Amino acid sequence: MSSSQLQPVLDRIDADFDNSLERLFALLRIKSISADPAFAGDCKAAADHLAGIIAALGFAADVKPTAGHPAIVARNNGNGGHGARPHVLFYGHYDVQPVDPLELWHRPPFEPAVADHADGRKIIVARGAEDDKGQLMTFVEACRAWKTVTGSLPLDVTIVIEGEEEIGSKNFVPFLEANKKDLKADFALVCDTSMWDRDTPAITTSLRGLVYDEVRIKAANRDLHSGIFGGGAQNPIRVLTRILGSLHDDDGRIAIPGFYDGVEDLPPDILERWRNLNLTPQSFLAPIGLSIPAGEKGRLLIEQVSSRPTCDINGIVGGYTGEGSKTVIPAQASAKVSFRLVEGQDPAKIRNAFREYVTARLPGDCKAEFTDHSNAPAIALDWNMRPLAAAQRALTDEWGTEAVLIGSGASIPIVADFKKTLGLDTLLVGFGLDDDNIHSPNEKYDLRSFHKGIRSWARILGALAEGPAKTDGYAGQARV
């Protein structure tokens, strides 16, 4: 790809930006809340709407049924799909989170508008503005610009968009299995992540995995009067909290035997790069009212939240929790516990180790029952992956600041699904910011993120087209 091809594409994006914004607004007006069956028709409407937009760009776009909300598969193979040039699979999701509590919104959540942020930034405000309608539309609009200016895309593109990401994508893996033939590509692209800060683009090169378990401790066959049985009967809440309280030692390390097996430290040069990013308690914790990092002692804060495994107690239920008082020893108590995992950890082994840890600490008269809620392995890109450095160069050129390669403390299960089901590595490039209020009232997306996100994808598509279709044999930069 020559600069003579790219510059007219970028100019077209700038000239057509108002129309791009209106196309995003039209999508944002659709109430595609996947969690509520009352909005099933809206989810179908969002799928049909997006498929129409993409089909108008020359893609062969189909709305395909799943066991839940429909998915979209759209293909644009300029060379007939014979592998003569790179082929990417782009993923996004059209479903959004519920809007509750509605009274906290400053404006109706499905009436998108450009507003002024308190610091003067222009922002797009609506449910789904960032997660993920605004993000996926940056890619769609970049494709539009390429097609308008040159009549084609610089590489082969397949787009897959699902409608159940916000409820766990429970029907999406079977969908991938059933549509493997239509989803073949060299690697995947996902736009559902964030920048490092407002001026620094980022590529997420690793994602923590997840094990989510629920434990229920049972003792007596009924709730007991604490005046009669107190001191003589086991209290499941006391048993449960004692065990949960022992999961971490005084240095913040997780005390489950074998938990850190396979976990490696960052290479010294990568650790130094992360240190230079200067993630501090003041910048990261102060906005949420905290000041002291709570992870493993001796680790940088950025390590604690990005590259180290964690254990968190997400909820505890037991006994009487209503108004007033009730002197009761409950018959049972439960807790939900999540583990964020890093490369080298096996989710199944971690789940078993946790259950063995709990069971070994049960006193007589108590038993434990467990419920498996979810699990996914950690994902880390090969630092020699050719598309990684190509995308980094493109982002750096657009933003004028070197794009950073970062690890994410979150889990995006679809990335593991692409690897396991389709054999694809994934580039995660997004333009969200930490203050976008995703999943919360007053969700927003910076207008600049939307505009430069479109330009960024246009550059990335061009940069990816310059190399061979496959990803081997490229001397990229080290993964961070």
Residues of the chain with pLDDT under 50: 80-81, 469-480
> What is the value of pTM for the model shown?
0.82
Same topology, domains 3-206+378-465 and 209-263+309-376? Answer is no
pLDDT of residue 78: 66
The structural architecture, per CATH, of the domain 209-263+309-376 is: 2-Layer Sandwich (3.30)
Give the Å distances, CA to CA, from 46 to 15, 31, 137, 394: 26, 8, 13, 31
pLDDT of residue 33: 98
Q: What does the block give as tokens for 110?
A: 């499905």
Please tell me the number of Cα atoms within 13 Å of 243 on its side-chain side.
28
- Burial string for 323-348 (b: 16+ CB within 10 Å, else e) reads eeeeebbbbbbbbbbbbbbbbebbbe
pLDDT of residue 2: 52
Distance in angstroms (rounded) separating the CA atoms of residues 365 and 239: 11
CB 337 within 8 A of CB 213: yes
- Burial string for 42-74 (b: 16+ CB within 10 Å, else e) reads bbbbbbebbbebbeebbbebebeebebbbbbbb
pLDDT of residue 269: 82
pLDDT of residue 478: 35
- Domain residues of the chain, as ranges? 3-206+378-465, 209-263+309-376
pLDDT of residue 73: 98
Q: What superfamily does domain 3-206+378-465 belong to in CATH?
A: Zn peptidases (3.40.630.10)
pLDDT of residue 3: 62
pLDDT of residue 260: 98
pLDDT of residue 205: 87
